Chain A
């Protein structure tokens, strides 16, 4: 999201933020337009259900709107907003009191976004989405949030720590654990080809 975030700042985010902090609803509406995709994506990846994701994203924006006066302009707005959404989704997942791999028990995700590509590309995207959903489903709520913030929102370790109220060390540890869990899950789900002495992927790994 780094590129899009920079673009948003270029489009006058600072002005919108200032006006939104003064209570101007139209300015906050601009922020909703600018940030709806990363917030919704985070909620979708966390909760795995379009309706719940929509509700969570809307609630996150409401919480942000109510808290605008408390927002520190020195802090990145996107990190602050994603922090609100992450905490909301983590709370939702904890309330469900279901096993951490509950995403797999949900109905397959509906197509709600980007219906533009042709059938082949749509199928590829859907496959990638399902594979990502299965991988995220192996993780606990907070580890899931760390992975989503890292891989989709491209936040730095420090920003993730800030967003999730964790230490940098804890984020590194959670990311390490999550990557290991996902890699092991991948190995279990995808029967491995005969080992070739480690030559195939050595270059990409190092």
Chain B
């Protein structure tokens, strides 16, 4: 005996036309297999609908808030380590050329020590020269730049600073606060 389309009608969810309904009723009265399928499906649906929706243990929202905070803190730490790592890597890359040049002059531990002293002394002198230059420029600034110009320069510097901080916030730290 063919069980089609009766099996599809039993298992399907579409409403049946009156003619189909009568045909199915007639078939179920004769076909033990389809009748059993129909009865067991009814039992299955009763079982599923009797089993109520389960709720989580009380305090689910509070646990979620804690988890969100923990995740943000983790993301913040990861981001800080990433920034630290990138800065460190950049510093290492920048230090490679002078290091290579310095190492080229080394022939023994004593020459290395002497070279390091010379370089440190050179750096100290360069810093002092730079400091003198900045002081001189600062003292002669009123003669070169008008007060309005100085104000405009300061405002421009401030604006650039704000743009920098905003950009940093938007593209780095804000992601952490959003948990993204």
Contacts and interface: CB of A to CB of B under 8 A. Distances in A.
Interface stretch (A7-15, A78-86, A87-95, A179-187): A179-187
Q: At the interface, is chain A mostly helix, strand, loop or mixed? A: helix
Contacts of B12: 172, 176
Interface residues of B, number: 49
Given A32-B64, A125-B51, A128-B50, A190 B57 contact: no
A23 B39 CA distance: 51
Contacts, number: 158
Interface of B: 7-8, 10-13, 16, 21, 24-25, 28-32, 34-45, 47-57, 60-61, 63-65, 67-68, 71, 178-180
Interface string A194-206: 0101111110111
Contact of A23 (B10, B57, B178): B178
Interface of A: 1, 23, 25, 29, 32-33, 36-38, 40-41, 44-45, 50, 53-54, 57-58, 61-62, 65-66, 112-114, 125, 128-129, 131-132, 135, 147, 151-152, 157, 172, 175-176, 179-180, 182-184, 186-187, 190, 192, 195, 197-202, 204-206
A190 B39 CA distance: 11
A206 B24 contact: yes
Given A113-B55, A180-B11, A206-B25, A198 B40 contact: no
Nearest to A30: B61
Nearest to B27: A198
A58 B54 contact: no
